[in-house]
Structure 1
Amino acid sequence: MSSSTTHDRRTTSSRDEDTSDRKTLERIAPGLATPVRVMSFWMAIVLPFLYVPLLVTGLSDAAETVTFLGLFVANLVALYVGHSHRR
C-alpha cells in the first residue's frame, strides 16, 4: 500500500511540474506557446540526424566539435520545451 502511495505522490509531483512548465511558457508568449512547443518537439526529433555526418567524419577540429556541442545543446532545449506537446 505504501509503494502505491509513494508512486501516486511522484506522479502528482511530476504533473505539477509539467503544469508549471506549461504556465511559464503561456505567461511568456501566450499566443506563441503552442507553435513553439510543436516546433521544439519536431526539432528534437530531427536534430539528432544532423549529428550523423559530424560523427561519421569525426570531430577532428574545433569547429566540428563546437558545431556538435551546439547541436546537442539545441536538442536538449528542444526536448525540454517540446516535451509537453500533445499532452
Structure 2
Amino acid sequence: MQSPNRIPFNAMSTERDPRSIGSDLLLGMATLSLLTLLKSGRALSQGLQSFGLLSEEIFRGDRLPNLDFFQPTESDLPSPLSSDSPP
C-alpha cells in the first residue's frame, strides 16, 4: 500500500508545461540584458577613466605655455593724493 502523499513514478509527467517555456525564455532574455548592461557599464567606466587620465596629461603644468602676467609698477598705481580720483 502506498502512502497518500507520495506520487507514483509513472504518474509524473516528463513533458514540459507550455507556459514554462515562456518563463524560461523571459528568464534567458532578462539574464542576457543584465549581462549586457554589466559589460557595457564596465566598458563605460574604463573609457571614462582613460579619458580622465588623458585629459590629466594634456592639462599637466609642464606642457602649458608660460603666461606673462601684468605686474603693476608704482607708476601704474593711482596715488592717494591725486586729484584725478573720484571723491
Q: With CA pairs under 8 Å and 6+ residues apart, which has the higher RCO, 1 or 2?
A: 1
TM-score (norm: length of structure 1)? 0.31
Q: Which has the larger radius of gyration?
A: 2
Q: Higher helix proportion, which one?
A: 1
TM-score (norm: length of structure 2)? 0.31
